[in-house]
Amino acid sequence: MKTVKELELELNGKPVSLYTLFNKKGVSVDITNYGAKIIRLIVPDKNGKFDDVVMAFDTLEEVIEKEIYFGAVCGRFANRIKDGKFTLDGVDYQLPVNNGTNSLHGGIHGYNEKVWTVKSVSQQELVLELFSPDGEEGYPGNLTVTCTYILTDENEVKIHYEATTDKATIIGLTNHSYFNLKGAGNGTIRDHQLQINADFYTVLDDSFALSGEIRPVEGTPFDFRKPTVIDERVDHEAFVPGWGIDNNWCIIKNQAGELAWAGTVYEPTSGRKMETFTTQPGLQVYSGNWMDKIVGKEGKIYDRQDAICLETQGFPNSPNIAHFPSPVLRPGEKYDEWCVYKFSVE
C-alpha cells in the first residue's frame, strides 16, 4: 500500500497527489488535493526540534475511510444548519441531514471528499479549484471555489478562500485541521492553553444547532479572553459534559471583513504557539471529543481530546437567523475570506 507521500493515482477519474510546501526556516506542510486536506505540518519547538502537529493518515485509503474531516476544507456550508433547511429569496431548500437532525459540513458528500483541481503549485503556494454544481447536496447555484494555501517565511500557513456563483446561494468555508502542539499522537491537549478573542459566544439549542441567541462570556466558562489551561474548563457542564468543547465564539473586530486575531493555542512543554487570524466573524473551537482510539500516522493512536480544532467560519445556522452575519452569495459578488495559522515558540 502506497503512502500518501508516494501517491500518484486517480480517484473518480481525477488525479490525486500530495504536494509539499516548504520555507527557508525548515517548516513544511503537506497538502493533498483530495478534500484540500492538510496531511502534515512540520514545525519546530523551543529547542529547534521539528515535529508534525496535525492529525491525518499515512495512506489515501485511510484518508478516505477514517476520520473524514481531518485537515479538510468543509463546504459548501461548514458546521450545522438546523434541520437541513433554509429559505432564500422565497424558495425553500432541503439539505441532507447527516448529524442528528441537522446538516453538517456541506452534507453527506461535502467538499472534504471532493478531488480538487490543481491550478498551480510552487515552493510556497498551492492553488486548488473546485466546481460545485447547482443542486449538489441540495444547494442552489453553480459555484466555483478556489482555495489557495501559502506557507510564508514567517511560519504562517495562510488559507485564502474565493468563490463565485451564477445563482443566489449560501456559502461558508472552513479548514478542519486537528492540532496537537506536542505533536500529533503525542497525548492530550488538556494541558494546552487556549485564548479566544471574543466577548460573546453563540448559544446552542438541544440539537446542537445555534438558537440565534448571543450571550456575553463575562462570568461564564466561555470566557477565554485570558490564556486558560484547557483542563480547567473542558469538562464543565456548560459544554458537552464529560466530552468537551464544540462551540462558536464571536470574534472581536473593528469592522466586518477585517483580518483579526481570533485565538491562540500554546503548549508549554514544547513552547509551540499557534495564533489564528481570520476575516470571518466566528471561531469554532472543538476539542476532539468524538475521536475514539483512531490509528493515525506512524501507528500513533488518536484518542478523545488529543487534538484541538480552531475553525474560522461564518456563524453556524446563519441561513436561518437574520441578525447573524449573512452567508448569502449572489451573482456578481465574490466570496473572499482568509484564515491564517501562525506558528512561533516562547
3-state SS assignment for residue 176: coil
127-134: average pLDDT: 98
Q: What is the pLDDT of residue 12?
A: 82
CB 217 within 8 A of CB 198: yes
Q: What is the pLDDT of residue 2?
A: 38
Q: Which residue shows C-alpha cell 461558508?
A: 172
Q: What is the pLDDT of residue 5?
A: 47
Residues that are catalytic:
176, 311
Annotated binding site: 79-80, 176-178, 246
Percent of the chain surpassing pLDDT 70: 98
Mean pLDDT of the chain, nearest integer: 96
Domains and CATH numbers, the chain: 4-345 (2.70.98.10)
Q: What is the pLDDT of residue 8?
A: 56
Please give the Cα distance from 308 to 286 (Å, whole number): 6
Question: Quick one: which H or E segment has residue 65?
Answer: helix 60-65
Q: Maximum distance among all alpha carbons in the chain?
A: 59
Q: Each residue of 120-156: b (16+ CB within 10 Å) or e? A: ebeebbbbbbbebeeebbbbbbbbebbbbbbbbeebb
C-alpha distances (whole Å) from 174 to each of 112, 138, 240, 315 are 10, 19, 22, 11
330-344: average pLDDT: 98
Joined grid coordinates for residue 277: 487570524
Residue 162 has pLDDT above 80, yes or no: yes
CA quadruple 98, 102, 105, 109: dihedral sign: positive
CB 122 within 8 A of CB 132: no
Q: For the segment 301-329, what is each residue's pLDDT rounded down to a tens digit?
A: 999 999 999 999 999 999 999 999 999 99
Please give the Cα distance from 242 to 22 (Å, whole number): 39
* Listed residue (144, 136, 139) closest to 119, CA to CA: 144
Annotated binding site for beta-D-galactose: 79-80, 176-178, 246
